[in-house]
């Protein structure tokens, strides 16, 4: 009976065949593992960026700029899909319940994770269902006052508001401007009456029309009115001066560091997303943040690049969540 090899070389051949079979088996297992497959092939189809706030805002503009860069870098479409509502909870919930394969990524601001858990009676998703991919950037807010306000500096305004309550506009209950106003009140001793509006633009218009006296609002929305002299910016809440209002001091420069407040812009993915997939996205995003056109876009949106990942990103969010939780609890802020 012919076996295809002689008895003389059978033992060596058998050993070689066994080794080859083992190698093939290991290779097959590697191909079958999600991590190895993702590392080799990701992305193999279009990636969806879910933004959980409306189109046209800073998050949407940043998301579209980043998607353009990643599309060129990774040679797959990156599509921005706006899913606003419930302070960002609707879009975040959609991503939390999506497959953990890197093809559905949440672009958000940190308030969905640092304020909402304290503000809403119940959340549609659990914190453990999502994890940070990267904190792209941070942005302070600007402390603007209406034309009728006589105070020329923030300390002067605080002195006035300690004796007579000042009205503050915001983009809505639970918005960054709302929380910043409450932080301002508790830290400075100023008395405030909060007046929520449906968005940043109406809140700015309320200031312009002297419907309210002040607002701690997104700088790009205030900028045209400040530049025209119709509104005054007394300070910015970030740790450094705004690239849009470089002449306006920070609250820290005024000796009021406990009034600092920031908005973080970040990406989150389902918690079970494989590390090799996350690494591909992180590396591409880090390259994007280093590009001159993205740096210019960040500056135009009043943002400072951070590029935080891993432990530092988790810690940053946890620190903000603890701080904001204390404020929400102390003021009794709630959203039904």
pLDDT in tens, the chain (336 residues): 333 333 344 444 444 444 444 444 444 444 444 444 444 589 999 999 999 998 888 899 999 999 999 999 999 999 999 999 998 999 999 999 999 999 999 999 999 999 999 999 999 999 999 999 999 999 999 999 999 999 999 999 999 999 999 999 998 888 899 999 999 999 999 999 999 998 888 999 999 999 999 999 999 999 999 999 999 999 999 998 998 999 999 999 999 999 999 999 999 999 999 999 999 999 999 999 999 999 999 999 999 999 999 999 999 999 999 999 999 998 888 776
**Residues 307 and 240 occupy one common structural domain:** no
Q: At what angle do helices 176-188 and 154-163 cross, to 10 degrees?
A: 80
Cβ–Cβ under 8 Å, residues 127 and 202: no
Cβ–Cβ under 8 Å, residues 145 and 204: no
Q: In CATH, what number is assigned to the domain containing residue 322? A: 3.40.190.150
Supply the pLDDT for residue 331: 85
**Residues 202 and 151 occupy one common structural domain:** yes
Assess if residue 235 is contained within a domain. yes
Assess if residue 295 is contained within a domain. yes
Q: What is the DSSP letter of 103?
A: S
Supply the pLDDT for residue 5: 31
**Residues 169 and 135 occupy one common structural domain:** no
**Residues 72 and 182 occupy one common structural domain:** no
What is the spatial distance between Cα 17 and Cα 6, in angstroms, rounded to a whole number? 15
**Residues 153 and 178 occupy one common structural domain:** yes
- Count how many domains the chain has: 2
What's the token pair of residue 3?
């076996």
In the block, which residue shows the tokens 């190895």?
A: 36
Residue 44: CB atoms within 10 Å: 11
**Residues 164 and 226 occupy one common structural domain:** yes
Supply the pLDDT for residue 40: 57
Q: Is 57 exposed, middle or buried (0-12, 13-18, 19+ CB in 10 A)?
A: buried
**Residues 135 and 148 occupy one common structural domain:** no
Assess if residue 172 is contained within a domain. yes
**Residues 52 and 197 occupy one common structural domain:** no
Residues 6+ apart with CB under 8 A from 302: 58, 139, 140, 218, 219, 220, 242, 243, 244
For the chain, the C-alpha Rg in angstroms (whole number) is 26
**Residues 242 and 274 occupy one common structural domain:** no
Assess if residue 24 is contained within a domain. no
**Residues 95 and 120 occupy one common structural domain:** yes
Assess if residue 14 is contained within a domain. no
Through-space distance between the first and last CA atoms of the chain, rounded to whole angstroms: 83
Cβ–Cβ under 8 Å, residues 114 and 317: yes
Vertex 177: Cα angle to 65 and 183 (nearest 5):
130
Assess if residue 23 is contained within a domain. no
Q: Which domain holds residue 255?
A: 140-259
Assess if residue 276 is contained within a domain. yes
Residues 6+ apart with CB under 8 A from 28: none
Domain-terminating residue out of 237, 259, 281: 259
Q: In CATH, what number is assigned to the domain containing residue 215? A: 3.40.190.10
**Residues 56 and 119 occupy one common structural domain:** yes
**Residues 97 and 245 occupy one common structural domain:** no
Q: Name the H helices within the chain.
A: 10-32, 34-41, 58-74, 89-96, 111-114, 116-119, 154-163, 176-188, 200-208, 219-227, 275-289, 292-300, 310-331
Domain-terminating residue out of 259, 283, 302: 259
Full strand arrangement of the beta sheet holding 192-196: 192-196, 166-170, 214-218, 141-145, 232-236
What is the spatial distance between Cα 89 and Cα 118, in angstroms, rounded to a whole number? 13
Beta bridge partners of 143: 216, 235
Domain-terminating residue out of 233, 259, 285: 259
What is the spatial distance between Cα 225 and Cα 233, in angstroms, rounded to a whole number? 10
What is the spatial distance between Cα 47 and Cα 153, in angstroms, rounded to a whole number? 47
Assess if residue 29 is contained within a domain. no
Determine if residue 230 is left, alpha or beta; phi over 0 gives left, psi from -120 to 50 gives alpha, anything else beta.
alpha
């Amino acid at each position: 009976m012919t076996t295809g090899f002689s008895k003389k070389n059978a033992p060596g051949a058998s050993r070689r065949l066994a080794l080859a079979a083992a190698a093939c088996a290991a290779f097959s297992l590697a191909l079958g593992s999600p991590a190895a497959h993702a590392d080799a092939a990701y992305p193999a189809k279009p990636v969806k960026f879910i933004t959980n706030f409306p189109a046209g805002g800073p998050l949407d503009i940043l998301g579209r700029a980043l998607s353009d860069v990643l599309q060129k870098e990774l040679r797959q479409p990156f599509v921005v899909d706006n899913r606003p509502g419930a302070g960002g909870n609707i879009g975040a919930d959609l991503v939390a319940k999506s497959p953990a394969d890197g093809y559905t990524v949440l672009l958000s601001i940190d308030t969905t994770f640092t304020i909402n858990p304290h503000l809403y009676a119940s959340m549609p998703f659990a914190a453990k269902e999502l994890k940070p991919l990267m904190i792209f950037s941070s942005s302070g807010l600007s402390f603007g006052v209406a034309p009728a306000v006589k105070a020329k500096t923030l300390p002067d305004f605080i002195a006035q508001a300690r004796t007579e309550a000042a009205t503050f506009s915001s983009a809505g209950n639970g918005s960054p401007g709302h929380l910043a106003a409450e932080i301002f009140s508790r830290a400075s001793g100023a008395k405030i009456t909060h007046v929520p509006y449906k968005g940043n633009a109406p809140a700015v218009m309320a200031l312009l029309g002297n419907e309210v006296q002040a607002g701690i609002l997104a700088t790009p929305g205030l900028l045209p009115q400040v530049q025209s002299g119709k509104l005054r910016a007394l300070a910015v809440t970030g740790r450094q001066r705004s690239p849009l209002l470089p002449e306006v001091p920070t609250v820290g420069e005024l000796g009021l560091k406990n009034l600092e407040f920031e908005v973080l812009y970040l990406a989150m993915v389902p918690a079970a997303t494989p590390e090799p997939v996350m690494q591909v996205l992180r590396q591409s995003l880090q390259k994007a943040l280093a590009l001159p056109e993205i740096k210019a876009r960040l500056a135009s949106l009043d943002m400072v690049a951070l590029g935080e990942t891993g432990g530092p990103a988790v810690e940053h969010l946890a620190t903000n969540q603890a701080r904001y939780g204390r404020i929400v609890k102390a003021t009794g802020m709630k959203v039904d």
